[in-house]
Amino acid sequence: MPQFNDEFSALLDARFPILLCETHEESRVLTRLREICNARNTPLFLWSLADGLKRSTETNAVYNTSEFTDALKYVDVTPQNGLYVFLDAHPFFDNPLNTRLVREIAFDHYRRDRTLLFVSPRLDLPSELARMSARIAMLGITADRVRSLLKEEIERWQRESRRQLVLDRESLPILVHQLAGLGEEEAQRLIRQAISVDGELNLNDAKRIARFKQDQQTGSLEMTLPDVTLDQVGGFVRLKTWIGQRQAVFQNPALAPGLPMPKGILLLGVQGAGKSLVAKAVAGSWKLPLLRLDFATLYNKYIGETEKNLRQALDEASRMAPCLLWMDEIEKGLSAGDADDGVSQRILGSLLTWMSERDTPVFVVATANDISKLPPELLRKGRFDELFFVDLPSGPVREVIFSLHLKKRGLDPAHFQMPRLVEHSEGYSGAEIEQAIIAAQYAALAAGGPLKHAHVESELMQTRPLSVIRAEDFERLRTWAHQRCVMVD
């Protein structure tokens, strides 16, 4: 028996008077409800604004039940026990009379075995009903079912088109990962669309599915599909090894049964050292959509709205799974303390609960510049798989960074005196090195010639890096991190 059937039967046995199912898959829910009610010998009634209230086995509606209020009045007085399912009733709870009628039916539930189930894509019950209700989710399809659907749809298309589908087998696990968790009908439509476009299934289809999932959301997360990979990032050798060891398990947990799925990492470090670039590069290397959570967009002046916005954003990330959730400058969203009437503490509580309880493949990369503003609860072992410290790049790493940025601009690093550039860039971050090259390009353009070594060296010697301007802060951060974090290099 499907998991939904077991959970719903348990809720009926627990005698909850009001049940809620928030889903777009109405037909799939109704199929499951018919199975449950048949097995339990429970009468099933359905109401919609189009058809009124009727027994699921009959075609004619009960007289004068087209309106939601009238249907509730009927259920309130009828001696007929059963499961009463109301479809798309969410707009009608603005009327206090409807709220009261539902409460009357619920109060009488232990004397008369009538259960109300509300099924809708969007459900927010009035607070008066919340404590009398329970929610049940229609879970998305599993990876095994996705593989079966893909096989069925590929065979159907090849049979009807009399052509051979071009399948990129390396992209197949990513496709399965992106489709798992969706509704079955939704997944089937997306597979058919992907095949019909060009007779192929490849990485572009996985990206298209990721964009579709993002389009269905209404939260405050910003989604991108990064092209940058860890191979294009200078340094971070130890971090790259750590990430590489966990990629296969994250993408296919069946490879290591019993091994916990990777949760995520916290990147602490100086500004401009490449933390944001690494977040994008991990997503690009793992071929995952990158969801950026900006805490500034969550805050709202009304009580409770900020926490609600965070919950919606985290729920959205779970629905977008598999994905990488990038919490940029996380300390700015969690450090207000008493100055915000406890909002930051409630935000922290919601975040920690989600981090410990989530069971969806969402890999978290949190970045932070100021350790003094991070709450200690967030740093406890187990919140993240590892805490990494991103220090200013060493000489060899700076040479790699110079080479990467010069090649990116079509320049040959061999034409530049690398030892001198490395020497004059001591204390520079990766971002500051890039900006020095950009400034040198402008200087060369103004002089009417190509970019040369002298232009870059001149810019380096004229600039005071942040490590000099804020030397005390940098040293304090280093001292803390060297005792508590893993170095990325």
What number is the average pLDDT over the span 116-139? 88
Q: Using one digit for the tens of pLDDT, what is the confidence trace for 460-486?
A: 999 899 888 888 888 888 888 888 899
Q: Are 116 and 33 in contact (CB under 8 A)?
A: no
Residue 322: is the preceding peptide bond cis (ω within 30°)?
Answer: yes
Q: Out of 14-18, 330-334, 366-370, 390-394, which region has the weakest mean confidence (pLDDT)?
A: 330-334
Q: Using one digit for the tens of pLDDT, what is the confidence trace for 169-180?
A: 888 888 887 888
Q: Are 285 and 247 in contact (CB under 8 A)?
A: yes
State the residue for tokens 């299934």: 201
Question: Using CA atoms, how far apart are residues 407 and 426, in angstroms rounded to an integer?
Answer: 21
Q: Using one digit for the tens of pLDDT, what is the confidence trace for 178-227?
A: 888 788 888 999 999 999 989 999 988 988 888 887 777 656 678 888 88
Q: Given this model, what pLDDT does residue 219 score?
A: 60
Q: How confident is the model at residue 298 (pLDDT cuts 50, 70, 90)?
A: confident
Q: Given this model, what pLDDT does residue 251 score?
A: 84
Question: Using CA atoms, how far apart are residues 231 and 369, in angstroms rounded to an integer?
Answer: 24
Q: What is the DSSP secondary-structure string of 292-313? A: EE-GGGT--SSTTHHHHHHHHH
Q: Given this model, what pLDDT does residue 1 score?
A: 45
Q: Given this model, what pLDDT does residue 357 score?
A: 86
Percent of the chain predicted with pLDDT > 90: 51
Helix (H) or strand (E) holding 364: strand 362-368
Question: Using CA atoms, how far apart are residues 138 and 297, in angstroms rounded to an integer?
Answer: 30
Q: Are 241 and 388 in contact (CB under 8 A)?
A: no
Q: Compute the mean pLDDT over every residue in the chain, rounded to the nearest whole number.
A: 88
Q: Using one digit for the tens of pLDDT, what is the confidence trace for 28-47?
A: 899 999 999 999 999 999 99
State the residue for tokens 């009608």: 92
State the residue for tokens 């798989």: 385
Give which of 6, 182, 23 is closest to 117, Cα–Cα: 23
Query: Residue 58 pLDDT > 80, yes or no?
Result: yes
- Domains annotated for the chain, with CATH where assigned, are 3-135 (3.40.50.300), 143-216 (1.10.8), 224-390 (3.40.50.300), 395-469 (1.10.8)
Q: Given this model, what pLDDT does residue 302 score?
A: 54
Q: What is the DSSP letter of 202?
A: S
Task: Say if pTM beats, i.e. exceeds, 0.75.
Answer: no
Question: Using CA atoms, how far apart are residues 183 and 177, in angstroms rounded to an integer?
Answer: 13
**Between 178 and 93, where is the model more confident?**
93
Backbone conformation region of residue 267, classed left if phi is above 0, alpha if psi is from -120 to 50, else beta: beta
Instruction: Outline where 328-452 has alpha helix (H).
Output: 331-334, 343-357, 376-379, 395-408, 418-424, 430-447
- Kindly report the number of other CB atoms within 10 A of residue 423's CB atom: 13
Query: Residue 235 pLDDT > 50, yes or no?
Result: yes
Question: Using CA atoms, how far apart are residues 389 and 368, in angstroms rounded to an integer?
Answer: 10
What number is the average pLDDT over the span 103-122? 90
CA distances from 216 to 222, 247, 445 (A): 13, 27, 46
Query: Residue 234 pLDDT > 50, yes or no?
Result: yes
Amino acid at 354: W
Q: Given this model, what pLDDT does residue 217 score?
A: 61
Question: Using CA atoms, how far apart are residues 260 and 248, in angstroms rounded to an integer?
Answer: 13
- Counts for the chain of helices (H) and strands (E), in that order: 21, 15
